[in-house]
Amino acid sequence: MALALSPEQVGSYAQRLKTTEVRIEELTKEVEEAKKTTEAFDEEVCEEVADFERIKRVEFRSQLGHLADAH
């Protein structure tokens, strides 16, 4: 048994399909942009951690040097 659709129904479905396709494209672009933002944030965090570790090493060496000089 075939399902008969009126021209209005076909037009409505076609419009909904087009709207859905456009929305999928928009969301895909947003996902790609979010991924780029996340990757940039990850890189920034890694740089900050590396800087913190470097500064921490310098401060520990300085403090241990002062401690050794005091004894």
* pLDDT band of 60, cuts 50, 70, 90: very high
Q: For 21-58, how does the pLDDT look when each residue is reduced to its tens digit (9 = 90+)? A: 999 999 999 999 999 999 999 999 999 999 999 999 99
User: What CA–CA distance (Å, rounded) separates 26 from 10?
Assistant: 24
Instruction: Give the integer Cα–Cα distance in Å for 49 and 67.
Output: 26
| Mean pLDDT value of segment 8-16 | 93
d(CA 31, CA 29): 5
C-alpha–C-alpha distance, residues 47 and 5, integer Å: 60
pLDDT, position 2: 65
